[in-house]
Amino acid sequence: MASEFFKFVDDHAESFINRLGEAVAIPSVSEGESHRPDVVRMGKWLHEKLTSKDIGVDAQLVELPDNLPPLVIGRVGNNPKLKTVLVYGHYDVQPADAKGWAEENPDAPDPFVLTRLPKDKPTKLYGRGSTDDKGPVTGWLNVFQAHKGRDLPVNVRFLFEGMEEQASPGLEQWIGEEVKKSDGLFAGVSCVCITDNYWLTTRRPTLTYGLRGIAAFSMEVTGAKSDLHSGIYGRMVHEPMTDLVKLLGKLVGTNGVITIPGIEEMVPPPTEQEKQEYRDIDYTVDDLVKDTGNHVELSEAPDELLMGRMRYPSLSIHGIDGGREGTIIPRQVTARFSIRLVEPQTPEKVEALVQDYLYDEFDKLGSRNIFKVNYELGALPWVGDKNDWNFNAANAATEAVYGSALVPNRVREGGTLPLALVFAQQVNKSVLLLPMGKSDDGAHSLSEKIDISNYINGTKLFGAYLYEIAKVKENGVVGNGCEV
């Protein structure tokens, strides 16, 4: 019964926080090679915890090609009369600059030490990976431990990977091969639950049914053979930085509209019904200001802000490399930018428009520098059915944990998770994103945290979701599953 499960979680809250602390202590940064052994160690730690006497589930490490960190996969229950839920998370994290982190968090100076703050009455847990995604992954471990010795109301299959922050190399191919096996991990799966995102606000839970895609680019301008002194060569040569800045200014307007011809035109305007759905979402301008810390919003209309995040494409400039201190003219400069995509846009279609436009605009400059555009990576957008039985079960679970006054927002999200579309296409079942953390958790930032209440209630939510899945038939009709 879910009430017994909730009590177990409350009684073991301290040990669950300690478990998250153990996970955060492993610096499983997947970017580059320096921490790759730690990522592998994190995968082994997960496997050891899952198969330990405290949890005791069937788990195994799956090696991937090219010495990539292993997948951690497994099964809980194998009753053919029950539904089977596939859950996904990742155990790698973003880099965390030690100096920058310490400056940002003087009371929690080590990103790989889970720190409870404020110290007199802790409500938050600071540390790299606390919300993205070690909190949710250990939340599933907590659920499995709570049900050791008694059956879950559904079968569970889990897949935890160690390269999500680097676009999951090798995983799509592995999924494609595994899904063909009659006895593989995905055999008999009824639905998919991804726990790698966040609430829309800090006050109301969220269910996510869509994600934007992405097309990422870099552009490079090269001039002289070496850096030049601006006092000697200024106004004598075409300067790479000048060309680059002019081109960057032609990508997007101050209103957020992409100015590359053809990109905005791909997306049909929203219907009146769609606009009303965005107006109905519990969101205010103040929510955005709370997250950003300043009044930098593009609109005073919450529905326009939400459509900008979820319904429309966006272009962001991420940085310029190659600049020099002092008064040097750099010989080569590079800028990085990306476009978040929505249906029916694809990376291939957008790449062609970007390439044609930028080369044409560079030609108009009349510069003698050398210009190059590079397409770095891409992923398709995904939109699921926010009203199917999987979402209705998650909605009921959320109310069971947070109360009926906090009916969750059902939203599309602005970020990108290519695996959502991979699961939807390869496993061919309903896909749901069920977040644990809040909008202000600062994933990828120098102040990443998760609220203690969200970590504990998130563990309850995951378990309650399994109970509600057991109760609902795939046509949405309540069945004879376990009562909450």
- Per-residue pLDDT reduced to its tens digit, 363-385: 999 999 999 999 999 999 999 99
Phi, psi (rounded to 5 degrees) for 147: -105, 10
Is residue 212 packed enough to be buried (19+ CB in 10 Å), middle (13-18) or exposed (0-12)? Answer: buried
The contacts of residue 269 (CB under 8 Å, 6+ apart) are none
The amino acid that residue 98 corresponds to is A
| 371: DSSP letter | E
Residue 285, pLDDT score: 97
pLDDT for res 462: 98
Question: Which residue reads 């017994």 in tokens?
Answer: 4
For residue 354, which of 381, 376, 331 has the smallest C-alpha distance?
376
Cβ–Cβ under 8 Å, residues 354 and 373: yes
User: For position 481, what pLDDT does the model report?
Assistant: 35
Rounded CA separation 91/45 (Å)? 10
Predicted local distance difference test score (pLDDT) of residue 479: 37
Which residues are marked as active site? 92, 164
The per-residue pLDDT for 482 is 35
Q: By C-alpha distance, which of 218, 222, 84, 86 is closest to 155?
A: 84
* Contact assessment for residue 475 and residue 389, using Cβ atoms and an 8 Å cutoff: yes
How far, in Å, CA of 457 to CA of 434, rounded? 13
Residues 6+ apart with CB under 8 A from 386: 207, 209, 210, 410
- Report residue 84: phi and psi, to 5°: -125, 120
Q: Look at residues 386, 385, 411, 394 and name the one whose alpha carbon lies nearest to residue 472.
A: 394
Q: What is the pLDDT along the chain (484 residues), one digit of tens a residue?
A: 688 999 999 999 999 999 999 999 999 999 999 999 999 999 999 999 999 999 999 999 999 999 999 999 999 999 999 999 999 999 999 999 999 999 999 999 999 999 999 999 999 999 999 999 999 999 999 999 999 988 899 999 999 999 999 999 999 999 999 999 999 999 999 999 999 999 999 999 999 999 999 999 999 999 999 999 999 999 999 999 999 999 999 999 999 999 999 999 999 999 999 999 999 999 999 999 998 999 999 999 999 999 999 999 999 999 999 998 899 999 999 999 999 999 999 999 999 999 999 999 999 999 999 999 999 999 999 999 999 999 999 999 999 999 999 999 999 999 999 999 999 999 999 999 999 999 999 999 999 999 999 999 999 999 999 999 999 987 654 433 333 3
What contacts 242, CB < 8 A, 6 or more positions away? none
Q: Is the peptide bond before 118 cis (omega within 30 degrees of 0)?
A: yes
pLDDT of residue 150: 85
The continuous run of DSSP H or E covering 467 comes out as: helix 452-471
Cβ density class 141-178: b for 16+ within 10 Å, e for less: bbbbbbbeeeebbbbbbbbbbbbbbbbbeebbebbeeb
Q: What domains appear along the chain, each with residue ranges and CATH number? A: 2-211+382-471 (3.40.630.10), 213-267+312-379 (3.30.70.360)
Whole-Å CA distances, 208 to 73, 97, 347, 410: 24, 30, 22, 6
Cα–Cα dist 484/477, whole Å: 16
Rounded to whole angstroms, how far apart are CA atoms 89 and 136?
A: 7
Exposed, middle or buried by CB within 10 Å (0-12, 13-18, 19+), for 239?
buried
CA distance 142 to 139: 5
Of 185, 43, 31, 46, nearest to 93 by C-alpha is 31
Q: Return all residues near 483 (Cβ < 8 A) that are at least 6 apart.
A: 1, 2, 467, 471
Q: Are 178 and 422 in contact (CB under 8 A)?
A: no
